[in-house]
Amino acid sequence: MVLRRTLLAASGSGRLRAFVSGTRLTRGVVDRFVAGERAEDAVRAAGELAEQGLLSSIDHLGEDVEHPSAAEDITKGYLHLLRLLAEAELTSSAEVSVKPTALGLGLGGEGMQLATDHLSRICAAAAEAGTTVTVDMEAERYVAPTLRLVAALRADYPWLGCVLQSYLRRTEGDTAAMAAEPGSRVRLCKGAYAPDRATGYTERRDVDAAYVRSLRRLMDSEAYPMVATHDPRLIDIATTLARRYGRTYDGFEYQMLYGARPDEQRRLAELGARVRVYVPYGGDWYGYLVRRMAERPANAAFAARAVVRRG
């Protein structure tokens, strides 16, 4: 937990971000977990995954924009990405993931309306292209407004997915609400943000136990569970729960990060499971990468080895 807290603190450090982003020693780490800096790089990665029988969800890196023009630029980037996916005939296997703060959610009083307008444009473009959108969940202060944003857009786009994080105590209630909506797409993950003891679980065993409780609720419902974890034990539990509640492989999916446990991704796909890989791209990779290392110590170990080899 000490390493996790240290890394989560580092993810928000502007000074450390500037130092790490400016050194070539991190290139091996970035190349492992980030598809590239351009939308074309992400489309290429999605195509390679599709050839292996893997689905993908593409994220344009960036969050907490500081001006409405930046949110507009990111929205246009997603529209461009969706056009590229359609041209490459990948929309049957690739969708997009969107962070609400990248669309302006955190910009004070106008934030909610900005994010709603931008997300609506992205959803309309996704529908036209023949694919879907999943809304990422960010730090705890954005959970309630993100859920309101998703609820508002689901009236027109019932396939709009949403992420829930098991480290938050409120998530079991949020899971129950979403599980009551037939067909709702819910990506359940542990969470990659620093917990508050009053509102979140700080011990891994408690986070894992909460994950299983929410996962059981989703499996025993008419929702579509998206099981986002690399934890072998939780993957086995998900498989067991799916069987217990009569779900076939087309009734849920496993999700993992680009560059993380690729052998396991292929193994599950070869069994006939739906496996979706979260593919990030863009130049603003620092915060994303550090949180991934905080989530999974194996990622931090890989990063250290890569830096040593290049040093």
Catalytic residues: 136, 187
Q: Where are the alpha helices (DSSP H) in 22-110?
A: 27-33, 39-51, 68-87
**Burial (CB count <10 Å: 0-12, 13-18, 19+), residue 28:** middle
Contacts of 135 (CB under 8 A, 6+ apart): 97, 98, 99, 100, 119, 146, 149, 150, 160, 161, 162, 163
User: What's the rounded Cα separation, in Å, for the pair 311 and 295?
Assistant: 25
DSSP class of 64:
S
User: What's the rounded Cα separation, in Å, for the pair 249 and 57?
Assistant: 18
Per the CB < 8 A criterion, the answer to whether 45 and 36 are in contact is yes
**Which two tokens mark 154?**
């689901």
Per the CB < 8 A criterion, the answer to whether 162 and 119 are in contact is no
